[in-house]
Amino acid sequence: MAAKILRLYPGPPRETAVEGTYLAHNIQTLGTAAAPFVYANFVCSLDGRIALKDSSTGRSYLPAGLTGDSDFRLLLELAAQADCLITHAGYLRAIAAGHLDDILQVGISRETRDLSEWRRDNGLAPQPAVAIASGSLDFSIPDSLVRHAQRVFVATGEKAPSEKVKVLRANGHDVIIAGKGTFVEGAQLARALAQRGFRSLFLLAGPRMLEAMLRDGVLSRLYITVVHRLLGGEGFQSLISGPELGLAGRLRMSSLFFDPVGPENTGQWFVQFEPCGAA
């Protein structure tokens, strides 16, 4: 039987299938050349942890108690609507080391073939392009991107290692300078990708990129899965780790779904927020 969740807001409450819940948002139609639609998805615990840190290695990891089939399906539905995925060097290093799965492609397994068909039926490229944000440029491009003929862009700042920039460009990669320092700035990256024809940009990245997009006022939507458990842990990551966001951090909830099962029968919420902006 297909997994079911309960839509609580906007009301009235009603039961719906997990599959298709986020595809119905048609995100691929919401962006324009002047203002691409930038959206992100995170999963967190009730105490605000999105990842824990291994005290012996310093490496961040996603605890098993935060992961579940319904949340993963909805993550893939969000990726399926993207013209371009924005990720970061840390994720690519984790893929190369075998610490995280490679989810830079859409609909390549038998269970998710419907997402590939959905992209085709909605006029999207077979696979999204991938933009890799990095200040150090210390990463290897996964073989999967080559196998699936995905367009690859590298985004960095003006103070990035110049020799590494030259090597990337010599190897045929489009390097986007999107920041005055080492790190990538949100508005510059969104604008550069829009100029390259992309209208829907999905952040498969961490807190730093989320913060960059929020501070620059270009984040269009934030999806959060809140798992009903407390994780604790002295070393952890949360959604935002930088200075106070002020008005740029204001969000308005636009939808709320309740999954009564969730990971390990804890239950979870699927929540959608729209930034209010700094005005």
Q: How many CB atoms lie within 10 A of CB 94?
A: 17
Going from N- to C-terminal start, the domains of the chain cover: 4-275
Average pLDDT on 214-223 reads 96
Report the alpha-carbon distance of residue 88 to residue 183 in Å, rounded: 11
For the cut 60, the answer to whether the pLDDT of residue 278 exceeds it is no
Q: Kindly state the tokens that stand for 206.
A: 């961490």
The DSSP annotation for 127-152 comes to: S-EEEEE-SS------HHHHHTT--E
What per-residue confidence (pLDDT) applies to 198?
A: 98
Q: Assign residue 86 a region: left if phi > 0, alpha if psi is -120 to 50, beta otherwise?
A: beta
According to the model, what pLDDT value does residue 279 have? 46
With residue 209 as reference, give the H or E element that holds it: helix 207-215
Give the pLDDT of residue 209: 95
Identify the pLDDT of residue 1.
56
Mean pLDDT taken over the chain: 94
* CATH of span 4-275: 3.40.430.10
pLDDT band at residue 72, thresholds of 50, 70 and 90?
A: very high
Residues above pLDDT 70, as percent of the chain: 99
How does pLDDT run across 159-215, given as a tens digit for each residue? 999 999 999 999 999 999 999 998 899 999 999 999 999 999 999 999 999 999 999
Mean pLDDT, to the nearest integer, of 239-250? 90
pTM to 2 decimals?
0.95
Where do runs of H (alpha helix) occur along 81-132? 89-97, 113-121
**Calpha distance 259→6 (Å, rounded):** 6
